């Protein structure tokens, strides 16, 4: 199951009965703890933490959970910020504001506003920013209590108990949240600082009801805010960012098409990966050091992909005694390994095929249409990305040029 599928499971939820209302004394204590936290965030001169986001899944057959992510945040009033995610970075040193979408290889720069507001960011126009930003960001930057649903009327908080976290005393408040208030949730507050140390969402029952055919025993999202500090000095260099040399400076951020992104990859280092071949043996990009490598992305459901196989096999045989490797990247997933093996054997296709990789290479190479081939030289530089069936003559010409030490990119 892909991260996208997991997200859909999260939001395709069936309603459940509302939770009981907290007793009056508990409700008063809950309100006191929540109000204290909001006050701390709203008045802090500075704040920093590192968000550790994990998804815990227990299912049969096993499902791969998304890799844990780290999102460091630093903020200093009124307009200094440093936020870094896997997709984008935001940095303001008080004078200059930079928004850099690494995956798009583009960034925008401009004067920093006197007071930072999230609505003024170019990134705010994109759904991926609104959906994936640090969960405390609006609360920290703008004091927007409603931005964290567990602190607003979107949640129903019903119980509180004393409980340490990483040895620190604190209070864990439990309740339900979500549009229908049917997602069990917990939020832990540090007794000493009032800060939030952990948020836990338990999607298990909702996911079980939404996808009954899955044998899902656990589906939990755990957010930890490590090394959280308020009103402590933050190094000035923390608020500086220097985009990569290959990133393009633009006046307005724009989401490129997958084809545009693939062409931006040409001339850049190949994506490092580890993975498994159909026979279960381990693979990595490092295995192909000093060799020309062709990655062929394909699927059992793609007729043109299968029609291209004989051409790729011909090329593999032609360069068998040369430092050239042809590797298929099958997109059907490990569960299709038997069917993939049967098809390859029936068509006498002998070059190796990857059935799973980390990271998912199809995402890193922006593969939306298949067949798609990526040609990488012996120095690990991407030389071409081609969408569609391959041509034997053209492919041989390109490989010969790379073996001769030439570049296909027009750059040394």
Number of Cβ within a 10 Å radius of residue 153? 8
For residue 31, pLDDT beyond 50: yes
Query: How many folded domains does the chain comprise?
Result: 2
Predicted confidence at residue 258, as pLDDT, reads 83
Would residue 409 count as lying in a domain?
no
CATH of the domain at 214: 2.50.20.10
The SS3 of residue 11 is: helix
Torsion sign (Cα): 299, 300, 303, 307 = positive
For residue 10, pLDDT beyond 50: no
**Which of 217-226, 358-367, 398-407 shows the lowest mean pLDDT across its residues?**
358-367
63/67 Cα distance (integer angstroms): 12
Rounded average pLDDT over 250-255: 93
For residue 366, pLDDT beyond 70: yes
309 shares a domain with 291: yes
Per-residue pLDDT band at 412 (split at 50, 70, 90): low
Predicted confidence at residue 294, as pLDDT, reads 97
The last residue of a domain, from among 227, 249, 271: 249
Rounded average pLDDT over 341-362: 93
312 shares a domain with 222: no
Predicted confidence at residue 73, as pLDDT, reads 97
285 shares a domain with 199: no
109 shares a domain with 55: yes
**Which of 100-109, 135-144, 163-172, 402-411 shows the lowest mean pLDDT across its residues?**
402-411
For residue 402, pLDDT beyond 90: yes
The last residue of a domain, from among 192, 224, 249: 249
The last residue of a domain, from among 224, 249, 274: 249
State what percent of residues in the chain have pLDDT above 70: 94
296 shares a domain with 197: no
244 shares a domain with 328: no
355 shares a domain with 385: yes
72/94 Cα distance (integer angstroms): 18
Predicted confidence at residue 209, as pLDDT, reads 84
114 shares a domain with 39: yes
Rounded average pLDDT over 148-177: 92
Per-residue pLDDT band at 249 (split at 50, 70, 90): very high
Predicted confidence at residue 20, as pLDDT, reads 52
For residue 155, pLDDT beyond 50: yes
Select the more confidently predicted residue: 179 or 274.
274
137/276 Cα distance (integer angstroms): 38
Rounded average pLDDT over 373-397: 94
**Which of 139-143, 240-244, 381-385, 399-403 shows the lowest mean pLDDT across its residues?**
240-244
Tens of pLDDT, residue by residue over 281-306, are 999 999 999 999 999 999 999 999 99
Predicted confidence at residue 22, as pLDDT, reads 67
SS3 content of the chain, % helix, strand, coil (to 5): 30, 35, 35
User: Is the separation of the CB atoms in 118 and 136 below 8 Å?
Assistant: no
DSSP string, 313-331: HHHHHHTTTTTEEEEEEE-
Q: Quick one: tokens of 202?
A: 């338990």
Q: Quick one: tokens of 66?
A: 């998304």
Per-residue pLDDT band at 356 (split at 50, 70, 90): confident
User: Is the separation of the CB atoms in 157 and 22 below 8 Å?
Assistant: yes
Tens of pLDDT, residue by residue over 69-81, are 899 999 999 999 9
Tracing tokens 């170019």 back to the chain, one arrives at 122
93 shares a domain with 231: yes
User: Is the separation of the CB atoms in 13 and 182 below 8 Å?
Assistant: yes
CATH of the domain at 280: 3.40.30.10
Per-residue pLDDT band at 14 (split at 50, 70, 90): very low
Range of the domain at 385: 258-403
């Amino acid at each position: 199951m892909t991260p996208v599928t997991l997200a859909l499971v999260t939001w395709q939820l069936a309603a459940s009965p509302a939770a009981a209302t907290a007793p009056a004394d508990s409700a008063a204590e809950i309100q006191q703890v929540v109000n204290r936290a909001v006050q701390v965030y709203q008045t802090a001169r500075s704040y920093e933490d590192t968000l550790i986001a994990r998804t815990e899944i227990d299912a049969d057959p096993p499902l791969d959970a998304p890799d844990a992510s780290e999102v460091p945040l630093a903020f200093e009033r009124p307009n200094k910020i440093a936020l870094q995610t896997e997709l984008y970075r935001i940095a303001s040193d008080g004078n200059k504001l930079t928004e850099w979408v690494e995956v798009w290889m583009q960034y925008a720069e401009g004067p920093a506003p006197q007071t930072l507001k999230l609505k003024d960011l170019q990134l705010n126009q994109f759904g991926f920013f609104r959906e994936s930003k640090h969960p405390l960001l609006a609360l920290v930057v703008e004091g927007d209590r409603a931005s964290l649903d567990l602190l607003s009327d979107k949640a129903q908080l019903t119980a509180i108990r004393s409980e340490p976290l990483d040895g620190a005393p604190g209070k864990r408040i439990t309740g339900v949240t979500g549009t229908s208030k049917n997602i069990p949730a917990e939020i832990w507050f540090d007794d000493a600082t009032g800060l939030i140390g952990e948020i836990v969402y338990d999607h298990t029952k909702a996911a079980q009801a939404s996808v009954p055919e899955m044998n899902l025993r656990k589906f939990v999202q755990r957010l930890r805010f490590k090394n959280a500090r308020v009103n402590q000095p933050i190094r000035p260099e923390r608020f500086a960012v220097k985009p990569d040399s290959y990133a393009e400076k633009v006046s307005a951020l724009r989401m490129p098409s997958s084809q545009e992104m693939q062409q931006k990859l040409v001339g850049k280092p190949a994506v490092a990966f580890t993975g498994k071949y159909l026979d279960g043996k381990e693979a990595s990009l490092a295995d192909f050091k000093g060799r020309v490598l062709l990655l062929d992305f394909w699927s059992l459901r793609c007729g043109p992909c299968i029609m291209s196989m004989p051409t790729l096999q011909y090329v593999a045989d032609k360069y068998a005694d040369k430092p050239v490797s042809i590797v298929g990247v099958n997109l059907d997933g490990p569960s299709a390994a038997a069917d993939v093996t049967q098809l390859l054997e029936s068509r006498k296709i002998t070059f190796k095929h990857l059935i799973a990789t980390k990271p998912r290479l199809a995402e890193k190479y922006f593969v939306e249409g298949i067949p798609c081939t990526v040609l990488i030289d012996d120095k690990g530089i991407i030389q071409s990305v081609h969408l569609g069936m391959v041509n034997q003559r053209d492919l041989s010409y390109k490989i010969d040029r790379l073996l001769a030490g030439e570049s296909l990119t027009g750059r040394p």
